[in-house]
Amino acid sequence: VQVSEISVRGSVHVILYPLVDSLNPVGGLRVTCLDRPTVDLSIRTGSELVPNLYNFVRDTVDDVITELMVIPNGVAVALETLGEKTDYLALRHPLPRGFLRVRLQGLDFMESASPSPYVKMSVGGSSWSSAPAKTVKAARGEWAGGDVQTFAVFSENQTV
């Protein structure tokens, strides 16, 4: 398998943190993506005998980029200042600003809805798929006990 071309498109978030009282006012730099970037790639294989090879390689590349660059992950660099040393761990592993809890309760089916609908969500580098909804009555579905997922939110600019 040879990856002949790869293209990554997304928004890069650059954080200058912490600000310090020194000649160099920035103690560190953090580069991350708020959301999963779009990855396009071309691969060459020696044979077409392996089914779904493209999907496997693409999913692997997507996962690696997400683990490296999507918030809370990223590249952190502590910069030298004449004042206090920058706490590299705090720069590399930021605390979340808050949490988003999603609780699924029910849905009204549309005419063309699948017989077992589910919800798929992602926030930053975290993604989640719910269990399928149970049909309660015609055109109405519910999740038993409510399906719940909690996401850490690191920026008000993240999308769901």
pLDDT band of residue 113 (cuts 50, 70, 90) is low
**Which residues face 61 on adjacent strands?**
none
pLDDT at 148 over 60: yes
E-assigned strand segments in the chain: 2-9, 12-16, 28-33, 38-44, 75-78, 98-108, 120-123, 126-129, 134-137, 140-153
pLDDT at 14 over 90: yes
pLDDT score of 17: 84
pLDDT score of 69: 92
Q: What is the pTM of this model?
A: 0.73
